[in-house]
Structure 1
């Protein structure tokens, strides 16, 4: 009884790890080629040292024949199907293009099969907004987490962009009602698959943590307000990804009408959309969205449709159905250096050129001169470029995290907040703690293709602290562990935040001045109105 809480946490975690290691050793001595039984049939994975890896397992049927409809179960197969290669990515434009409408696949990495160990299950939802990405990115390799924490890791693909979030309610004869959220329904189908098969893969269906970065975090925030997702996960971690509001039905319908017009399809003939080649649909969706400040294609994301989503995810408050789900909410200190840092001019701004840049890029309707004056008061040593990156981060990326943390605090629901300050050594350090930097740190994939953390001592130390926070959170619902200072859940009185750095520290209300500055304007989630 004299043990401190932190010593007890460390001791129980170590004991669980040792027990899991013993179970795994006993189970693995008799298994060479892993075979699992899943919905549809049996699958053959591969052995990766002390882990078993299954790739490209179907959790849903090919969506080509049921375009814009909810997902169906996979068709059964005979014999043993190979699960050694990743499945197709969803249709998209970008690095994972072109993809395929046959895209409902997931991947499992686990220390053991059917051993009754009841390990925490971690399900990662990939980023790329609601438009791009796939669960096969090397940065999402779950091996390090499995080995370090004796957990099961799942990644997956689901429908994106126009194929996952096109609201056709009210067009034609109504057969496409709810089409604006079928990408989310894919995620729910995947989580149901996880619940059904957790024991087969050595996991605990009653302890599922969803975590995701950027668009993945936004998808999680939306799931927290979807009745069909209730009970499918028990902890939630969002990394630089929030969804405070969903697309309103009017705005979503207008975008659908613009797409139909681009394809020369009359609203009464919406059924013809099923016949248009995938590539042509993607091409049409690239027309400019007039409701967005930036020059981008049509926005597609979750829709307040009254069918599967009956309320905004975090407006006007946090969803009651998820009140009992502990939440971990994070961001990086220099988010926008990831995408605005690709323009060399942004590193050589002057006080004369800065205002126009801010008008175009901060996405908050505040006078640029007022914003600049406040930043110069708060941070007298900042250069114009420093102000630019800080203001665009606060205006575009950080604000949603604050909105969600405040909503949880008002609700009395458990939430821990973090900020990654540790700067990447890439590009001579110019990008600092940029958007996506926390992915390899959390996964422990520092040397994977695409990582920009390096493998130095500081990178490894930050990765240990962040990865152990996720593992502790997945196991107990609390991210505290022996490698961190005491980390209190977020309150409106103190706004407690863990700052991850070479020397991590607990800080009350970091960047208070910036928070108060941007609180002068109402929060509007880009693309939703």
Structure 2
């Protein structure tokens, strides 16, 4: 039996497994740094000490692997991040820091080159001394809260800086090291909570931006948080967190919302709902950590032992322990659905959207060749609502059983939650711009071929990817990337993606539900799959 998702959605798949595409992308290629620099290496002061980066003839610069927190090792493991130790001599910032501990795809082995000493960030700036401070875009990578890093080749911020923004990316703790909840860990916390260390890391990086980005030419009063998949969920979770208030001023969420996580920290008293602490107790027991000093026992375990106890998160048919943000009453004060409905969150301008074929990646290995297999899959993953879902998504309405299940996944996990967030945010008086990415990339290779506009397919266009198997392969694709970068950076600059002669992007309203269709020729769309989303919402899903 596939472990139940730590959220209320119709398809029972763990969150890390839902985000398979990002996990595949994570292991494609990690860059050791940008191309050799031209010009003298700049030295910039930070609150912890000076850093020396890479300069380019066009005046831009990159600073890689800057520590924004102390290594979360030893007694700091499973505690809030602390400031790093200060330094006096210029610190080399020309290579990415280590990725946080994580597994290799499908092997169940620790990925080489990772380290618990991973809390670093990167800065790309168009100019260190601009005529006026530049807007700042802070990227949070995806990977199901289990894998990923800011060093992935595709996440190079150089193309975005050409539009006049400063780009920041960061690593944050993943898996059990980032999201383990346990009463023994909560007992060490003044608020008696545990988990959400990865979210705390993200907030600490945003605090670093507030305190330091001006010396890199950025404007700390104009910060946009953007992320994809788990990164989009993270951006949304930061909107809910009181401690992050004022650290950012706009949000871009690509294929993810905080509706996808609602696991309570402690037993909610309902037999069918698992709590994060209950999972943590079982996890610790599997590692032999029971009795009086569970926290010390857990800290004695190596990252390899923790990863092995988590299981392989990529195989939907093998058991594993899912780790993701939880409702702890502190970092996340209440269930996201409640906070959003009540307006108890950072109400800032929002740009969000989904891809036309979000579900295609997650069913690559699934056998869905017959109506019977489709029905079996729906019943296995959502026994409580199977009959209703089979009525809403009858196989006869789709080209194949596989297509039916892909469509259900797309709607339940991505499209409809994004629509719900857009509707809620507009009700609270904030500007919202929604998109639907429909272009099926022609240049992707390997397992990414023939998946349509799959989950994360927009990312190479957002970053203007020039290298790797997901690089843009034609003038048409590069032109689309230029348009998307323009929309994203204009939104980051002034909370409106329109301008520069681009196709008009209508602001979202509940009546017509207008959105921008992102394809080779962007254009206006309306009422995207409204009937299916209304039906799912009527079920409370």
Residue 261 of structure 1 is matched in structure 2 by 285
User: Counterparts of 1:35 and 1:171 in 2: how far apart (Å)?
Assistant: 40
Using the TM superposition, name which of 73-82 and 361-370 deviates more. 361-370
The 5 A counterparts of 1:64-463 are: 64-65=73-74, 66-94=76-104, 97=111, 99-115=114-130, 117-147=132-162, 149-169=163-183, 173-175=187-189, 177-244=192-259, 245-249=261-265, 250=267, 251-266=275-290, 268-272=292-296, 273-286=298-311, 295-315=318-338, 317-318=340-341, 320=343, 322-342=345-365, 345-346=367-368, 349-360=369-380, 365-367=385-387, 369-373=390-394, 376-377=396-397, 382-425=399-442, 426=444, 430-445=450-465, 447-451=466-470, 454-463=472-481
Q: 1:460 to 1:288 in 2, by over 3 A?
A: closer
* Alignment coverage as a number of residue pairs: 482
Q: 1:360 to 1:138 in 2, by over 3 A?
A: farther
User: Counterparts of 1:136 and 1:186 in 2: how far apart (Å)?
Assistant: 17
Report the Cα offset of residue 296 of structure 1: 4.3
1:10-45 per-residue CA deviation (whole Å, 9 max, x = no partner) reads xxxxxxxxxxxxxxxxxxxx9621111113211111
User: Counterparts of 1:320 and 1:279 in 2: how far apart (Å)?
Assistant: 42
1:306-333 per-residue CA deviation (whole Å, 9 max, x = no partner) reads 2222122343535635454101111111
The answer to whether residue 72 in structure 2 is matched with residue 63 in structure 1 is yes
SS at match of 1:128: coil
Unmatched tracts of structure 2, length 5 or more: 1-37, 268-274
User: Counterparts of 2:291 and 2:146 in 1: how far apart (Å)?
Assistant: 24
SS at match of 1:186: helix
The answer as to whether partners of 2:127 and 2:216 remain within 8 angstroms in 1 is yes
Q: 1:191 to 1:267 in 2, by over 3 A?
A: farther
Q: 1:89 to 1:302 in 2, by over 3 A?
A: same
The normalised TM-score by structure 2 is 0.83
Aligned residues: CA RMSD: 2.6
Report the Cα offset of residue 303 of structure 1: 1.9
User: Counterparts of 1:504 and 1:72 in 2: how far apart (Å)?
Assistant: 45
User: Counterparts of 2:334 and 2:171 in 1: how far apart (Å)?
Assistant: 25
Structure with larger RCO (C-alpha < 8 A, sep 6+): 2
User: Counterparts of 1:484 and 1:360 in 2: how far apart (Å)?
Assistant: 46
Q: 1:38 to 1:473 in 2, by over 3 A?
A: same
SS at match of 2:328: coil
SS at match of 1:494: coil
User: Counterparts of 2:119 and 2:488 in 1: how far apart (Å)?
Assistant: 26
SS at match of 1:221: helix
SS at match of 2:252: strand
User: Counterparts of 2:386 and 2:429 in 1: how far apart (Å)?
Assistant: 31
The answer as to whether partners of 2:49 and 2:87 remain within 8 angstroms in 1 is yes
User: Counterparts of 1:74 and 1:466 in 2: how far apart (Å)?
Assistant: 36
The answer as to whether partners of 2:241 and 2:345 remain within 8 angstroms in 1 is no
Report the Cα offset of residue 521 of structure 1: 2.4
Report the Cα offset of residue 268 of structure 1: 3.2
Report the Cα offset of residue 102 of structure 1: 0.6
Residue 7 of structure 1 is matched in structure 2 by none
Q: 1:321 to 1:113 in 2, by over 3 A?
A: farther
Q: 1:184 to 1:499 in 2, by over 3 A?
A: same
Unmatched tracts of structure 1, length 5 or more: 1-29, 524-529
Q: 1:92 to 1:288 in 2, by over 3 A?
A: closer
1:230-257 per-residue CA deviation (whole Å, 9 max, x = no partner) reads 0000010010111124321221111110
The answer as to whether partners of 1:225 and 1:319 remain within 8 angstroms in 2 is no
1:113-172 per-residue CA deviation (whole Å, 9 max, x = no partner) reads 24452000110000001111001111111111111x111111110111111111224668
